Structure 1
């Protein structure tokens, strides 16, 4: 392993951490409708549990309403039941084959609770990035110990790892602030 390999690995893992964090933020619902909110809801389909997006067309009717159009006739009631039983607090309404899922407005107390959830998820993401930094630094120190690189190279590597880590954490902080502003917007 070389310093370039360490940097490349850190960049890839940091990018995956950011993507994972973005996916986590999408699950936290705001007052606005977003089709991704239903991504974690599973429905029984021929004996196996699958995401709703694999058995229905999920789209937006307007800013506060999601429409779910099942691809098969008998799936409507199953999808409706799955959405109702999810921990999202949504109450779908059937209109023939189409399911309308209105997003209830958030109370001020619920908004504050959601910002706490966002901050906690942000801190978890920052901890994951710091763990990546620690692993990269350990690899650089191991290369120095094995006399594969010099002290100057190791110092440069540690500085570059810190710079990459700071950039990733700044991106996480930016995403947290944006999500908090989205949640607190009435």
Structure 2
């Protein structure tokens, strides 16, 4: 028996939005942000863990991050992993604390970062549209199997479209904010 659940659709789309915003946080804008390093994977105690799980990351100034490992004996391993993460930074290890100076971004690099954000936005929009398509397919099948009326099917599809439009707008708003932040000098 088919039962349209608006809350479930919203929850699924919210997860896609959350994933998008998580990706945006990892894209570097003009100033230092702990999110830039949070997703770096570090192999400690025989397993891969995110940097934020093994160290605290803080902002020293606009162009410097500080990483303080919870276990000071792992500082050299963390330093090496940050260096090898392909982020274009050269961390400096000083008495158990790692300073990560971030180079100033050129205009070309800023535009490249915006393009990366746009790609994340498009991927998220596709995920949301796929959720819409799945829900509409379920509704059409239920109508075809005579579980719901044609009017109910159209009402459900209209509700799903409203939810879809709302989440696409949220993605576009987040992308717009991040793009302005990146391009602001």
Q: Which bracket does the TM-score occupy, shorter chain normalised?
A: over 0.9
After TM superposition, the structure 1 stretch with the greater mean CA deviation from structure 2, 101-110 or 63-72, is 63-72
CA RMSD of aligned residues (A): 1.2
TM-score w.r.t. structure 2 length? 0.94
CA–CA separation in structure 1 for the residues paired with 2:86 and 2:118: 20
Match of 2:155 in 1: 156
Report SS of the residue matched to 1:34: coil
Note the alpha carbon deviations across 1:61-116, whole angstroms, 9 max, x for none: 22322111112232111111111111111111122111111221111111111111
TM-score w.r.t. structure 1 length? 0.94
Match of 1:114 in 2: 113
Note the alpha carbon deviations across 1:26-50, whole angstroms, 9 max, x for none: 1111121111211221222122221
Match of 1:2 in 2: 3
CA–CA separation in structure 2 for the residues paired with 1:60 and 1:166: 36
Once superposed, which parts of structure 1, at least 4 consecutive aligned residues long, lie more than 3 Å away?
A: none
Match of 1:129 in 2: 128
State whether structure 2 residue 72 is matched by structure 1 residue 73: yes
Report SS of the residue matched to 1:74: helix
Q: Could you tell me whether the CA contact under 8 Å between 2:39 and 2:52 is conserved in 1?
A: no
CA–CA separation in structure 1 for the residues paired with 2:155 and 2:91: 56
Match of 1:95 in 2: 94
Note the alpha carbon deviations across 1:125-175, whole angstroms, 9 max, x for none: 111111111111111111111111111111111111111101110111111
